[in-house]
Amino acid sequence: MSLHNEKEWETFKQKLYSKSGINLNDYKPAQMQRRIGNMMSRHSVTGYLDFFAKLESDAKLYKDFIDFLTINVTEFFRTPEKFDELEKVVLADLLKKSPKLNIWSAGCSTGAEPYSLAIMLNEMTPHTRHRILATDLDKEMLAKAKQGSYTINELKNIPAARLNKYFKQVNGSTVIHEDIRSRVEFKQHNLLVDKFESGFDLILCRNVVIYFTEEAKDALYRRFFAALKPGGVMFVGGTEAILNFREIGFQHYLPFFYRKP
């Protein structure tokens, strides 16, 4: 990157931070510059500041850009074999210790993950209402999550029996039942800046930190560790193994699951 571009990149990051609260210094620069560069060339813009001016004047482009940065890829029971372990081993284990669980789905996007949890827990403990907190940086995504309306692709891992039991067709969309919706509490939250609650039995943060720098990841996992109860479990995405989990204080539990002693 040329010096001129480097200077523009620094200014772009500052302006974006002022506008959105997203701090690009917490993301790996090479990946971010490549991803943003792709978007700029799609919109025939060469300079970062020209691109920022475009973001300022075009609300739809700005929304698309924020979606693009916060990678909102979501589906129910994403990686079904991991959800199988979550249900049969992790939740079964946690429920032995605590009949009412406190769970956080961090970076919940359009709500498929917390609703998947609500469905599983409804089947495991039909008469108990657990607390499921679901947070995301993106207000638009949270609004979609609260509506609970999904495409066939987002529902592809759900067996027919569950689909019929928990979803209904409304004007050509597949919508999750009100009872399951009412079990999830949605909140806007910036993982890199905002305070964390504590006392969680289970925290899920999957496919969220993929573009974060190692420093940002390390700080985040330490804060997650502090937010868990003793015996609580952290569940991460398939490309996000916590390499220094012992140093943070976690014990290895199952692949991509870590326990706080």
Which H or E element spans position 253?
strand 251-254
User: What span, in angstroms and rounded, lies between the C-alpha atoms of 166 and 150?
Assistant: 12
Average pLDDT over residues 28-55: 89
- In contact, 154 and 76? CB cutoff 8 Å: yes
| Residue 24: predicted pLDDT | 86
- Cα 248 → chain centroid: 21
Give yes or no for residue 253 having a pLDDT over 70: yes
Q: Minimum mean pLDDT among 17-31, 99-113, 182-196, 199-213: which range? A: 17-31
Q: Which domains does the chain have, with CATH numbers?
A: 3-69 (no CATH), 80-259 (3.40.50.150)
- With 0.85 as the threshold, say if the pTM is over it: no
- pLDDT-derived band at 260, boundaries 50, 70, 90: very high
- Cα 33 → chain centroid: 22
Helices (H), the chain: 3-20, 29-42, 48-57, 59-69, 80-85, 92-97, 112-124, 139-147, 160-166, 178-181, 214-227, 245-248
Give yes or no for residue 72 having a pLDDT over 70: no
| Residue 117: predicted pLDDT | 97
| Residue 32: predicted pLDDT | 85
Tokens of 216: 């940002």
Average pLDDT over residues 159-186: 93
Average pLDDT over residues 151-168: 89
Average pLDDT over residues 88-93: 97
Average pLDDT over residues 28-51: 88
User: What span, in angstroms and rounded, lies between the C-alpha atoms of 139 and 145?
Assistant: 10
Average pLDDT over residues 97-120: 95
